[in-house]
Amino acid sequence: MCEMWTTGDERRVAEQNKQNRATQSMTYRRGRTSHYQLMNDFSNMHGRNPHRLELFKMGRCKDLPDGSESWVDEESRRRYENMTQINAPSSNVDAESHTPATPEDVFISVMGKDRPGRVRCVGSGETLSTWYKSA
């Protein structure tokens, strides 16, 4: 293993990974608890599968005993508030002419479309084809 580390390619990749981790925004606060475990716990508690809006909040926000919330960063809090505003029914819009957005649509409108090979907030095992076939 030590011999591999001394090669230029291994060092270059490690340095690039270090730089990428430094620029990440909206860090995950659950440590070693995976998205799959969060989904399983939620399903057992509520009897349904969570949508990505709920998974986003579970992974980045902690409910405090006093009823307030502690977010990992300001960007996560801001994006979640945008999602809840879009998802909230508006009194200015006629209910008959406006179809309500699904939580999935709201999540995509704020976070952007998923890239190939990666679906946000659902774990590393999901791909676009497996996620959207099951959804």
CB–CB of 42/26 below 8 Å?
A: no
- Tokens encoding 133: 């076939």
What is the model's pLDDT at position 47?
A: 94
pLDDT of residue 62: 86
Contact between 79 and 26 under an 8 Å Cβ cutoff? The reply is yes
Provide the token pair at 130. Answer: 């497996």
Residues 32, 35, 36, 37, CA torsion sign? positive
- pLDDT at res. 135: 58
Residue the block writes with tokens 């992974």: 59
Question: pLDDT at position 93, please?
Answer: 52
One pLDDT digit (tens) per residue for the chain, 135 residues: 566 566 778 888 888 878 877 776 666 667 778 888 888 899 999 999 898 889 889 888 888 899 898 898 888 899 999 999 888 776 555 555 556 688 888 988 888 888 877 788 887 778 888 877 765
pLDDT at 125: 77
